[in-house]
Amino acid sequence: MSSSGRVFLREATGLVRSLTAFDAYALGIVGITPGVTIVLWYVYITFLYPGADMVWTAIGSLPIGLVYAGGYYLMSISMPRSGGEYVWGSRIIHPLWGFLPNWMYMYAQVFCLGYLAATIGGGYLAPYLSILASFYNNPSLGNWASTVSSPNGAFALSLAVIWVSLLINIRGIRAYAAATAIMFVIAMAGVVLTFVLLATTNNQAFQAAFNHYAASYNTSYQGIIDLAESNGWKPQPPAFDQTSFALVYMAGTSLATAWPVLAAGEIRAPQKSMFWGTVGAVLTSGVIFVLGAVLFYNTVGDTFAKAFSFVAFSGSVTNPLPAAPYIQYLTSMVTQNSAIIFFLGFSYVVWIIIIMPAYYVIISRSMFAWSFDRLLPSLFANISDRLHAPINALCITALIGTFAAYLTVYTTILGFVFNITLAVVSSFVFVGIAAAVFPYSKKARKIYESAPAIVRTNIGGLPLITVLGVIIAAVFAWMTYLGLISPALSGPVNPASVTLWIGVYVTAIVLYFVAKAYHKRHGLDIDLAFQEIPPE
């Protein structure tokens, strides 16, 4: 019997390559969620860093994102298997070098599944309903906003989203892809419509539209600026340091996402499809960031947008309007078409809902990969013969997500200890180092030599994958440091949160050695599995 027959859970995964290039492209963009990013980052970053030039922030973030995407693309076509960075690092350097970052990344994503599901009610749907109530002069919509943002309402909504997303995924990867395609078209149409409205409205016309809308709230375009200034805000000229800081965060926490690599074992024609799922998705999202920034600030006005952000987020003044200066909210003011107003907000809500089924794909496939290599019990790698889906891993994901949603709604625990930025960006450092040493690894020599020619491309006498890997490792090591010193952007930084962050890495080490010892007692050396790519 071959080594793979002895050490892998079985001789075939049971997964089927049924995702197309479009599916990979959609999954890549869904992971980045540009429709949410342009809503939140344009207003929140400028509140924290009023000297940041958001146009240059968006422009500068794109090259960083493309370096990340390029590295992940080359690695994914070298080892096109589900599990992504787990498979890469474990085959290039050591089993733990792949398990540590993937375990940390999945910890972040499974808790983010519950956290985001719990905030759909209060953070996304309630503002949308409040905005509609103001445009339609319909108080009942405002009452619904209060209902969905209440603890019980938010939790009930989170349960619906979490468990419906589970049911979609249990039906198989094609059912997931079909549901995602529908939502993807709606979400992207909302972005395009927003840009068209902004592109056809100049600042003078926007001021008139805003003043007309805001009159019922006893304020105006200039009134918002005056309110901010009277409470201590002052306009700042563009500052290089604040812009640099902002662009690193935009690149690292938004564009640096390549979810298709985690489901690579189910994607057809990996060399073509993974390009669209990584480089294509990042490039598209980056263009959305840049166009959105140019159009938003040209139409709305930089001074006004930053003043409104201060009014909405400073806590030192009461916002006279029903929502913060979100791009789809301000854009809605330039049209009198009630259907367009409805669709702009609806598409924004779809952007946050579309990510929920995707979480199941990336989390369950990572669990599957760990189990297939025998680091976790075999139940995580059980595949339905009919649906070709890892049912157990999907259900466990839903249970953990539900627990995280409960903690989010009814406690303050996650808000005190959960720093997703530290978890994510620190995991990328491992990936960058693995990519950098890939061409020089004796352990992975055969894998590298049999990889597609583009993977073995040299630039300036060095392997391209090494150059990209060094940049990725350096950028995300720097971002890890920034995350530790900038809790306003990264999340809570305190003894409990840092201990948890380190503790997650420690649990991966413990699990690896426990699994290794357990299987050794039963006559299996699981390290043999990491000498080759898992079977299909």
Amino acid at site 531: Q
Tell me the C-alpha to C-alpha distance, in Å, between residue 90 and each of 86, 327, 378, 468: 6, 43, 19, 19
- Give the DSSP per-residue string, 400-457: HHHHHHHHHHH-SHHHHH--HHHHHHHHHHHHHHHHHHGGG-STTHHHHHTS-GGGG-
- The pLDDT value recorded for residue 131 is 87
Amino acid at site 104: M
Q: Indicate the DSSP class of residue 94.
A: -
Q: Indicate the DSSP class of residue 363.
A: H
pLDDT tens readout for residues 241-295 = 888 888 877 887 788 899 999 999 999 999 999 999 999 999 999 999 999 999 9
Dist. CA 45–CA 53, nearest whole Å: 10
- Contact (CB, 8 A) for 393 and 368: yes
Contacts with 323 (C-beta within 8 Å, 6 or more apart), sequence order: 127, 130, 131, 312, 329
| pTM: predicted TM-score of the whole model, two decimal places | 0.94
Contacts with 262 (C-beta within 8 Å, 6 or more apart), sequence order: 82, 83, 84, 361, 362, 365, 366
Grouping H, G, I as helix, E, B as strand and the rest as coil, residue 220 is coil
- The pLDDT value recorded for residue 4 is 41
- The pLDDT value recorded for residue 32 is 94
Q: Which two tokens stand for residue 194?
A: 């927003």
Dist. CA 69–CA 470, nearest whole Å: 14
- Contact (CB, 8 A) for 9 and 374: yes
Spell out the domains of the chain, with CATH numbers in brackets.
3-531 (1.20.1740.10)
List, for the chain, all residue ranges whose pLDDT scores fall below the cut of 70: 1-6
- The pLDDT value recorded for residue 6 is 65
Q: Indicate the DSSP class of residue 120.
A: I
- Contact (CB, 8 A) for 154 and 121: yes
Dist. CA 64–CA 61, nearest whole Å: 5
Start-end of H helices in 200-314 = 203-214, 221-230, 240-250, 270-275, 281-300, 302-313
CA 516, 521, 522: angle at the middle one, nearest 5?
100
Number of H helices, E strands in the chain: 26, 2
